[in-house]
Structure 1
Amino acid sequence: MSQRVISTVGTSLLGNLHNPRVNPDGLDALALLRRDPQRASAEANAITRLAKGGDTLVFLHSDTEDGERCADHLNTYFAGQGHPVHVRRVAGLSYNEKGFVSHGLRALVRLLAEEIRTAKRAEQRPLLNATGGFKAEIAYATAVGLMFHVPVSYIHERFGDVVTLPASPVGWDYSLLSWYRDFFDWLDEEPRPTHAVHERLAALPESVALLVEDAPDGQSYLSPLGEAYLEAFRGQADTRRSLRLSASARRTLDALDFSTQSAYRQLLERLRHGGAGDWRRSAELVRGDVFKFPKGHSVHRAFVREDDAGLWVLELCGHEDERRYQELIRTIRWSHYQEDEFSALP
């Protein structure tokens, strides 16, 4: 499988043009890249070690003339080496500190997520090369890689080896975004006045507000981390399992107070994002093919069955109702339920 190497771009190439130790003959940028790409720029140093013949290269450069010049030189050099190359400008990622966070870093996160999805659709292996650019770019590229389970590589122009952070095995909890998706989609559609955003936030948990930032322009936006979180959540949509609740489980859910209901909805989202069969690693078999999820000492549990059609939640019950919980452990069976009494969880 070929790779799609997605690289942030800095300006080390321009700096090295005027460094007599790297460029004693005063070569222009392309000539320097052709003579010694690993010394010419940090990005080329990494890519020549990471990319193989036929791999696609993507250069994401800042919204500056220097960033564009460096990306164009890298484009020309690596295209000449036979690589398909794409160059993209990150709008707002400039030396203007007012727009750097609210616009630039959010745009970077979106482009990284878009390129990762493009790679997967093309059956390419995505790899983030976070070597170049502003320090904040490197940090957020690493965060995106962790959330999308994509390896992230880094090399300084003076390093001899590439450091690669492998794809994270961590399963992220997207229940917050799923439960309050209407708010996140509304905020992400267009800039919203800060006063309107705060009116909505007043009715939402504090954890939602942590993903929102107020900008000096009087608008509020998802923070760059919130943007990464939302993009990763959207990327999970195709992998979520179908999940249905029995009439009994739905009655239980609807009757709970807000806090307990939220806890159960988070539990159900963990189930949906667990992948076919993967959730069983955190479950315990109760009877026949019915499991309790999660196992261990958990206040809230779902009694679940899985088949080719998806997940069937028979009951919701935990140690807040110890008598009913123990009774379900003794008596629950799939044969006690009819499929037509189940309804899908939105």
Structure 2
Amino acid sequence: MSQCLISTVGTSLLGNANNPRVNPDGLGPAELLRRDPQRASAEANALTRLATPGDTLVFLHSDTEDGERCAALLAEHFAGLGHPVRRERIAGLSYHEKGFVSHGLRSLVRLLAGEIRAARRAGQQPLLNATGGFKAEIAYATAVGLMFGVPVCYIHERFGDVVTLPASPVGWDYSLFTWYRDFFEWIDEEPRPTAQVRERLMALPDSVALLVEDAPDGHSYLSPLGEAYLEAFRGQPDTRRPLRLSPSALRTLDTLDFSTRSAYLGLLERLRHGGPGDWQRSAETLSGGVLKFPKGHSAHRAFFVEREGILHVLELCGHDNERRYQELMQTIRWSQYQNSTFQDLP
């Protein structure tokens, strides 16, 4: 299987070309790269050791003239060696501090995730070369590699060879994204005013807020780490079970305030990821075969049944409506709903 080597690009090529110890003959960057690629550039030093015939090379460069120039020179050099090459600019990743985190690193994460997915669709083995670029860029490239199960490689001028972090066997916990998927998709869809984001965060756990950052432009975004988690989560197999809501349950959702609605949507996502074994532990069976989820102390409950592999949610009710809750506990039956028109929860 051929590889797709995705390489972050710094400016070591330009620095080395201007360094008399590395370039005593005063060669231009392109000439130095042709004569001695391993001394000319940190990226080339790694890639000459990693790349094999037929491998594709993708150069991700900063949103700067120097970064673009180095990537162009590297691409030209390796294309001349017979490799398919591409260059991609990381929008916002520049020397301007205000946009570096809120825009630049998030752009980097998205680009890396997209390139990894594209390589796998093409039947190639992705490999990240995180040798070049800003220190923060290298750190986030490493994080993305670990989350996506992709090996990450480095080389340093004092190393005799490439150091490779193997694909991580760690199983990442994406439950937070599972339960609050609607919020993460909402904030990632477009720039959201900070006031709106803070209002929504008041209804969510503090662990969600830790993945959100306020930007100087008056908007809030997922942090680069939050973006990395979300991109990795999107690549996970969808193990959710089909879930449908009765007209009564849908009416309940439509009348709730944002905070309570978010709590119920999170509860339904947890329910969708559970299997029968999970329900035995976390759901209580009522008379008539209806289950109440979750059992134990909880302000919000779903009353549901499973039929032919589909979860049918009959009612949503919590202790804020104690009279209705107690009534459902005693009287709810599947037979009262089985002829209703249930609608899918997307």
Quick one: distance in 2 between partners of 1:11 and 1:341? 56
What is the deviation of 1:157? 2.8
User: Is residue 246–residue 341 contact of structure 1 (8 Å, CA) maintained in 2?
Assistant: no
Quick one: distance in 2 between partners of 1:173 and 1:48? 36
Quick one: distance in 2 between partners of 1:301 and 1:127? 41
> What is the letter of the counterpart of residue 178 of structure 1?
T
Q: 1:338–1:229: structure 2 CA closer, same or farther, 3 Å change rule?
A: closer
Partner of 1:240: 238
Aligned counterparts, 1:234-273, within 5 A: 234-236=234-236, 239-241=237-239, 243=241, 266=270, 269=273
User: Is residue 179–residue 265 contact of structure 2 (8 Å, CA) maintained in 1?
Assistant: no
Aligned counterparts, 1:330-341, within 5 A: 339-340=307-308
What is the deviation of 1:92? 0.5
Aligned counterparts, 1:80-91, within 5 A: 80-91=80-91
2:37 aligned with 1:69: no
User: Is residue 180–residue 266 contact of structure 2 (8 Å, CA) maintained in 1?
Assistant: no
What is the deviation of 1:69? 0.8
Partner of 2:143: 143
Deviations 1:253-280 (A, max 9, x none): xxxx9999968955864x69xxxxxxxx
Aligned counterparts, 1:273-312, within 5 A: none
2:18 aligned with 1:45: no
What is the deviation of 1:235? 1.2
> What is the letter of the counterpart of residue 145 of structure 1?
G
Partner of 1:123: 123
> What is the letter of the counterpart of residue 98 of structure 1?
K
Partner of 2:78: 78
Identity across matched positions, percent: 70
Q: CA RMSD in A?
A: 3.1
Quick one: distance in 1 between partners of 2:67 and 2:264? 50
> What is the letter of the counterpart of residue 343 of structure 1?
L
Quick one: distance in 1 between partners of 2:61 and 2:265? 45
SS at match of 1:127: strand
User: Is residue 176–residue 266 contact of structure 1 (8 Å, CA) maintained in 2?
Assistant: no
What is the deviation of 1:18? 1.3
What is the deviation of 1:315? 9.8
Partner of 1:196: 196
Quick one: distance in 2 between partners of 1:86 and 1:25? 30
SS at match of 1:43: helix
SS at match of 1:243: coil
> What is the letter of the counterpart of residue 239 of structure 2?
R
> What is the letter of the counterpart of residue 36 of structure 2?
D
> What is the letter of the counterpart of residue 115 of structure 1?
E
Quick one: distance in 2 between partners of 1:158 and 1:131? 13
Whichever of the two has the greater Rg, that structure is 2
What is the deviation of 1:116? 0.4
User: Is residue 194–residue 220 contact of structure 1 (8 Å, CA) maintained in 2?
Assistant: yes
Quick one: distance in 1 between partners of 2:201 and 2:185? 14
Quick one: distance in 2 between partners of 1:293 and 1:153? 43
Partner of 2:319: none
With structure 2 as the length reference, what TM-score do the two structures score? 0.75
What is the deviation of 1:206? 0.7
> What is the letter of the counterpart of residue 340 of structure 1?
E
Can you give the 5+ residue segments of structure 1 that lack an aligned partner in the other structure?
252-256, 273-289, 295-299, 304-313, 322-336
> What is the letter of the counterpart of residue 155 of structure 2?
I
Deviations 1:291-336 (A, max 9, x none): 6799xxxxx5689xxxxxxxxxx99788x69xxxxxxxxxxxxxxx
Partner of 1:56: 56
With structure 1 as the length reference, what TM-score do the two structures score? 0.75
Quick one: distance in 1 between partners of 2:126 and 2:86? 14
What is the deviation of 1:245? 7.8
User: Is residue 7–residue 131 contact of structure 1 (8 Å, CA) maintained in 2?
Assistant: yes
What is the deviation of 1:339? 5.0
Quick one: distance in 1 between partners of 2:187 and 2:306? 41
The aligned length equals 288
Q: 1:229–1:159: structure 2 CA closer, same or farther, 3 Å change rule?
A: same
Quick one: distance in 2 between partners of 1:224 and 1:120? 23
Q: 1:202–1:3: structure 2 CA closer, same or farther, 3 Å change rule?
A: same
Can you give the 5+ residue segments of structure 2 that lack an aligned partner in the other structure?
250-259, 285-290, 298-304, 313-344
> What is the letter of the counterpart of residue 241 of structure 2?
L
Q: 1:220–1:315: structure 2 CA closer, same or farther, 3 Å change rule?
A: closer
Quick one: distance in 2 between partners of 1:245 and 1:189? 24
User: Is residue 41–residue 157 contact of structure 1 (8 Å, CA) maintained in 2?
Assistant: no
Q: 1:21–1:204: structure 2 CA closer, same or farther, 3 Å change rule?
A: same
What is the deviation of 1:240? 2.6
Partner of 1:229: 229
SS at match of 2:103: helix
What is the deviation of 1:341? 6.8
User: Is residue 61–residue 87 contact of structure 2 (8 Å, CA) maintained in 1?
Assistant: yes
Deviations 1:216-272 (A, max 9, x none): 111111100011111111111xx233536899xxx9xxxxx9999968955864x69
Q: 1:188–1:341: structure 2 CA closer, same or farther, 3 Å change rule?
A: closer
What is the deviation of 1:30? 1.4
